[in-house]
Amino acid sequence: MDFKETKLGFSVGDVNGIGLEVMLKAFSSGHLFNHCTPVLYGTTDSFQFYAKKLGLELRYNLIKDTSEAVSDKINLKEVGGKVTIEPGQPSKETGALALQALTAAVDDIKNGQIHNLVTLPIDKNSIQSDDFDFAGHTDYLAKSFETEDYMMLLANDQLRVGVVTGHIPITQVAKAVTPELLKRKITILLESLRFDYAVRKPKIAVLGLNPHSGDNGLIGTEEQDVIKPVITEFVKEGELVFGPYAADGFFGTRAYENFDAVLAMYHDQGLVPFKQIAFSDGVNYTAGLPIVRTSPDHGTAYDIAGKNQADVSSLVNAVFEAKKIYNNRMEHNELSKNPLGFKSHRKEKFSIGVPNLK
C-alpha cells in the first residue's frame, strides 16, 4: 500500500501550546500530503484560530466519520466543544479537549478507522482527571492497548535512545532497576529494532546507573549486581548487547555511533544527551505497542506558542518515522506468512500490529 493512502491520526494536544501550530505549518507546504492522509482530532475553532494567526490558507475537510477522509486535505474530525484559546496559557479546559481528542483517536485506531497515530504535545498537569491519571501519553496508550512491556524510544537518523525507567522521581530509580525490568526493556529494544527498524542483528549499548558506571563498586554496586549479569545472559543467547558504559564518556566520545540503539537507566540520562544532539529533529516513539505511535520530541513550549517561532522539523520527522515503522511492520508480516503451514520454533516476544483499515 502507498503510505499516502494510509490514514494518519493526529490528536490535537493542548491547543494553547505549539502542537497544532507546527502541524498546520508542516502541512502548509503541501509535500506531507504525498506521505499520508491526515485526520486531525480537534476543533474547528482552534484550527481556524491558528490558520489565521499564522497567515495560512489551509483547506480542510470537516468530517463526522473517518471513512469520509480524503487525501490532499487535512481531515478535521470535531471532538469536544468550544474552548478559550490563549496561546501560552495552560488551562483545565484545553486539557479536557486534549484528552477528548486522544480518546477519539485511540477509539478510531482500535476500530481500524486510522492506521497510525501522531500525538501532539499535552500539558501533563492540565490533562489530569478521573479518566487520565498518567505521567504522559506513553503510559496512557500502554493501558489503552493492554500492553505491559513497552518503552519510550527517542530516535533520529543518528541515534536511538530507550529508557529503562521513565517518568518517575530520581529517588526511585535505583530501586526500580531490577534484573526482571532490565531484561524486559532489553528485549523490547532488540525486538523493536528488528521489526520496527528492520535491523537484522541489532547491536545495543547499555549504560550504567552510577557515575563512572560504578567504578568497580566504589560508587555503587548496581552495575555488578544487576546490569552486568543481565547483559551476560543476553550475550550467551547470541545477542549483541554491550556495557555497562559510563554515560558521560559514552556520549562525549560519540560511541553511540557504533550501536543501533542505546539503553539508558533513567529519563534524563538518555534524554538530555539525545536532545542536545537531536533536539530539532528527534521523534518520540512508543516501542512495544501493537500500533504505531510517534510524537514530536518537544513539549507544549508555551513560551513561544502562537508566535510563529516553533520549528516543524520534529513533527515532520514524526510523520516519516510512522511511515517507516509501519512499512517495516507490513514487510515483516508479509515475509512471515507461512503458506505451507510449517511450524516455527522461534518464539516472538513482540506483538507486531498493522491495523486493517475499514
pLDDT tens figures, 31-90: 999 999 999 999 999 999 999 999 998 889 999 999 999 999 999 999 988 899 999 999
Query: Is 138 found in the same domain as 9?
Result: yes
User: What pLDDT is attached to residue 214?
Assistant: 86
Query: Is 130 found in the same domain as 14?
Result: yes
Note whether residue 292 is domain-resident: yes
Query: Is 134 found in the same domain as 90?
Result: yes
Query: Is 95 found in the same domain as 53?
Result: yes
Q: Are 354 and 333 in contact (CB under 8 A)?
A: yes
Q: Which of 5-19, 42-56, 332-346 has the lowest mean pLDDT?
A: 332-346
Distance CA 311, CA 58 (A): 18
- Inform me whether the pLDDT recorded for 347 exceeds 50: no
Query: Given the C-alpha cell 486534549, which residue does it identify?
Result: 98
Query: Is 263 found in the same domain as 190?
Result: yes
Domain total of the chain:
2
Query: Is 175 found in the same domain as 92?
Result: no
Distance CA 173, CA 48 (A): 44
- Inform me whether the pLDDT recorded for 2 exceeds 70: no
Query: Is 142 found in the same domain as 263?
Result: no
Last residue of a domain, one of 280, 302, 322: 280
Q: What's the mean pLDDT in 147-166?
A: 94
Distance CA 147, CA 351 (A): 10
Q: What is the pTM of this model?
A: 0.90
Q: Work out whether strand 37-42 and strand 74-78 pair parallel, antiparallel, or are unpaired.
A: parallel
Query: Is 203 found in the same domain as 132?
Result: no
Note whether residue 91 is domain-resident: yes
Confidence of residue 358 (pLDDT cuts 50, 70, 90): very low
Extract the runs of DSSP E, i.e. beta strands, from the chain: 7-11, 37-42, 60-63, 74-78, 116-119, 151-155, 160-163, 203-207, 240-245, 261-264, 283-287, 293-296
According to DSSP, residue 357 is labeled: P
Q: Considering only CA atoms, which of 93, 69, 79, 9 is closest in space to residue 42?
A: 79
Distance CA 39, CA 50 (A): 17
Q: What's the mean pLDDT in 156-175?
A: 94
Cis bond leading into 244, ω under 30°?
A: yes
Report the percent of the chain where pLDDT is more than 90: 83
Note whether residue 174 is domain-resident: yes
Range of the domain at 62: 1-148+282-358
Distance CA 227, CA 34 (A): 45
Query: Is 195 found in the same domain as 65?
Result: no
Query: Is 275 found in the same domain as 336?
Result: no
Quick one: 147 exposed, middle or buried, by C-beta within 10 A (0-12, 13-18, 19+)?
A: middle
Distance CA 325, CA 116 (A): 10
Q: Are 202 and 260 in contact (CB under 8 A)?
A: yes
User: What pLDDT is attached to residue 57?
Assistant: 86
Q: Work out whether strand 203-207 and strand 240-245 pair parallel, antiparallel, or are unpaired.
A: parallel
Strand partners, 7: 37
According to DSSP, residue 277 is labeled: H
Note whether residue 57 is domain-resident: yes
Q: What's the mean pLDDT in 149-164?
A: 95
